Amino acid sequence: MSKLEEASALIAELSVEEQAQILAELVRLMNLTNIGIQHTPGVCGGKARIRNTRIPVWTIIEAKKSGASDIEILQHFESLTAEDLANALRYFEGHKGEIEQDLAEQHAV
């Protein structure tokens, strides 16, 4: 029996609450909440940005708050994919305080 099969069998024996805890731990370990989002000193001021671009997450959120559709955003930022957009929105959901602060800093300039 493979390790994956062993793990699956063990997980099947756990309660729903325990399974949820394992899922949360896997998400944390795999850093799934931040897939496609980078923080790099010296790039976009170290702010959260879309993978390998100079497009900060706050820019996408600002566009959405201004009423831009996903299609409009993707047309404007031709290097972005639908997955990039989804990653930015998911990142915002998990890091609202950070991105709201980034937006406030941009409007203060």
Say if residue 17 is in the same domain as residue 58. Answer: no
- pTM, 2 dp: 0.69
Say if residue 39 is in the same domain as residue 70. Answer: yes
Tell me the longest C-alpha to C-alpha distance in the chain.
Answer: 60
What is the Cβ-side half-sphere exposure of residue 6, based on CA atoms within 13 angstroms?
3
Say if residue 13 is in the same domain as residue 51. Answer: no
Structure confidence by residue, pLDDT tens digits, 44-103: 999 999 999 999 999 999 999 999 999 999 999 999 999 899 899 989 988 999 999 999
Residue 98: its pLDDT value, please?
A: 95
Say if residue 8 is in the same domain as residue 47. Answer: no
User: In total, how many domains does the chain have?
Assistant: 2
Say if residue 24 is in the same domain as residue 42. Answer: no
Which residues span the domain enclosing 12?
Answer: 3-30
Say if residue 38 is in the same domain as residue 89. Answer: yes
Residues in the chain: 109
Say if residue 25 is in the same domain as residue 42. Answer: no
Say if residue 44 is in the same domain as residue 79. Answer: yes
Residue 38: its pLDDT value, please?
A: 93
Cβ contact 39:49 at 8 Å:
yes
Helix axes 57-65, 96-108, angle to 10 degrees: 80
